[in-house]
Amino acid sequence: MKKAFAVSVFVGLFASGCASFEGWNQVETKNITLYTNTDSQYKETLRQLENTYASLSVSFFKGKDIGKVEVLFMDDTDFIEYFGNFRKGAALASVPGDGTIGKNGLLVLRPHSQPTNPSVGADGVSASTFAAGTGSLNNAAGTSAKEMLTHLFIQRAMPKVPLWFHEGFSAYVSTSEVRGGNGQTFGCFGFPLTGEVMMPVASLWDTTFEQYGKPEYRGWFQATAMTLVDFVMHADNNKHRSAMGQMVNDLAAGMPSSSVVAAAFDGANEKAIDELLQVHRQNVSQIVVSAAPVRGQCPFGVVIPKELAPDESPPKITARSAADIEGLFRVLSSFPAKDEYPPYYPPEVVAKVKVRAKS
């Protein structure tokens, strides 16, 4: 967004009162505190958040104390005004300022009654159209909720991992589902997911928040990172899956991505990894197009014990003051990259936010 246009939107937004600060409620479940001014639009998103929280807690983040997650659920019009038309949602490592909401991170989600624009690569090809062999992706709001929640899980449990892993693993989790059978509840991951274009893996390692917003990175960046994660988890009949734990531990320790990924690929160089990923993407694309149940009903499943099962009890709903909500929106209006693509705002980006003074 050009500076002059950004300023005009900024002024117009607060002059016209596009976002109303009255009538907001706090909706609490076991793991989620959600703020909304809608009566029911948030309910499916809240269910997906609880499901994904349970699945991640007993699988990839087992033993990690993630804590409660705060969520701002705003309508599509307001979301686009604050976060642009490319984002499906936003995950903020924290909310600066002197308010009380989002100090340990905040998800910003939307109902998706209005579609976002697809991100477009340098060759004009849509780079963010995904399909999967599961019904979960028909629910854009739920899919976005799963993806954004994963960003906060990663941030709290593994703050040193690079942006490419944030994007790749969050996209991988976005197709997850909770399923039941034989008196048990399962978190299921790994339903086939594919992007249309990719980029060399060497371009992933040091990509910054600012670079991700450029057209030549957008969906390409996430599609490549997601394919890498999916390869390690599922390629060649899951034979590489045992490398995932070491890869994540090494990334979490701050080791260079190039050497960590090479080790996960048995020492292959980056050109060879690119070739492996291209073949894997083609294989996954064939699965998606054919809708063949190659990976089964639960490609990678974990049992969710009853004590950690998703909270299905009626949430506690209380009013939230207009002052609290106004303060939060004032901070959000100060965030950068309004009409760009990065959905995750890391700590180093949040630290540079200069919160607009109360008028």
DSSP string for 293-316: -TT-S-SEEEEE-GGGS---SPPE
Q: What pLDDT, on a 0 to 100 scale, did the predictor assign at position 341? A: 82
Report whether 350 contacts 96 (CB < 8 A): yes
Q: What is the pLDDT of residues 279-291, one digit of tens each?
A: 999 999 988 888 8
Average pLDDT over residues 116-123: 43
Kindly state whether residue 343 falls inside one of the protein's structural domains.
yes
For residue 147, tell me if it sits in a domain.
yes
User: In the prediction, which pLDDT does 23 show?
Assistant: 95
219-247 mean pLDDT: 95
Residue 48 falls inside a structural domain: yes
Domain assignment present for 356? no
Is 359 inside any structural domain?
no
Q: Which residues contact 97 (CB under 8 A, 6 or more apart)?
A: 327, 330, 331, 355
For residue 49, what are the domain limits? 3-350
pLDDT of residue 131: 39
Q: Does 163 fall in a domain?
A: yes
Q: Under 8 Å CB-to-CB from 316, ≥6 apart: which residues?
A: 27, 28
Q: DSSP per residue over 49-91, as a string?
A: HHHHHHHHHTTTTTT-----EEEEE--HHHHHHHH-SS-S-EE
- Write down the pLDDT at residue 116: 57
How many domains does the chain fold into?
1
| Residue 82, token pair as written in the block | 């604050």
Q: Which two tokens mark 221?
A: 């960046």
Task: Report if residue 331 sits inside a domain.
Answer: yes
pLDDT number for residue 324: 96
What is the distance between the alpha carbons of residues 175 and 188, in angstroms, rounded to a whole number? Answer: 9
How far from 157 is each of 70, 72, 148, 347, CA to CA, in Å? 16, 22, 15, 14
Query: Does residue 238 come out as left (phi exceeding 0), alpha (psi in the -120 to 50 range) or beta?
Result: left
Confidence of residue 14 (pLDDT cuts 50, 70, 90): very low
pLDDT beyond 60 at 12: no
User: What average pLDDT does the segment 69-92 reach?
Assistant: 94
Place of tokens 């531990």: 249
CB 247 within 8 A of CB 264: yes
Of 192-196, 202-206, 267-271, the range with the lowest mean pLDDT is 192-196
Using CA atoms, how far apart are residues 127 and 62, in angstroms rounded to an integer?
33
pLDDT at residue 1 in the model:
37
DSSP letter (8 states) at residue 161: S
Count other C-beta atoms under 10 Å from residue 78's C-beta.
19
Whether residue 358 is contained in a domain is answered as no
Average pLDDT, rounded, for the chain? 87
Distance CA 6, CA 225 (A): 31
| Side chain identity, residue 210 | E
pLDDT of res. 114: 67
Chain position carrying tokens 């002197």? 98
Convert the pLDDT of each residue in 264-316 to its tens digit.
999 999 999 999 999 999 999 988 888 888 898 999 999 999 999 999 999 99
Return the percentage of the chain with pLDDT > 90, whole number.
Answer: 74
Whole-angstrom Cα distance, residue 118 to residue 125? 10
Going by pLDDT thresholds of 50, 70 and 90, the confidence category of residue 164 is very high
